[in-house]
Amino acid sequence: MSFAKKLASGELTAATIKECQLNWSGHGPGERFLCRLCGHKFQLGDLWRFVYANGGGPSRHGNFLACAKCDGPDILERAAKQEAEYERLRFLFGG
């Protein structure tokens, strides 16, 4: 399966060496190949998926990657709650 089709499928897939070495989000090789919800950095063979969140859903910060542990039918709602908590703490601590 091509990389573009893998992203568009929305299905869990095993991480390849190539994916582990990509410059995700404009950062160095593999630095940002991680789950946005728990921060797990994907290693070869780990299950992950691309979550499309730019469709006007509850997530304000766009598309993201998720691990198998964090994935589920309510992932967009959990991401939105995490974002709201981050914004609240950032406001409180002046970040």
Q: Of all helices (H) and strands (E), which one includes residue 8?
A: helix 3-9
pLDDT 10s digits, 22-49: 998 888 888 899 999 999 999 999 999 9
Which pLDDT score, from 0 to 100, does residue 35 have?
A: 95
Q: Which of 9-18, 19-28, 75-84 has the highest mean pLDDT?
A: 9-18
Residue 56 has pLDDT above 70, yes or no: no
Which pLDDT score, from 0 to 100, does residue 72 have?
A: 95
Which pLDDT score, from 0 to 100, does residue 23 have?
A: 92
Which pLDDT score, from 0 to 100, does residue 25 have?
A: 81
In the chain, DSSP assigns E strands to: 13-14, 47-51, 64-67
Tally: H helices and E strands in the chain: 3, 3
Per-residue tokens: 19: 């994916």
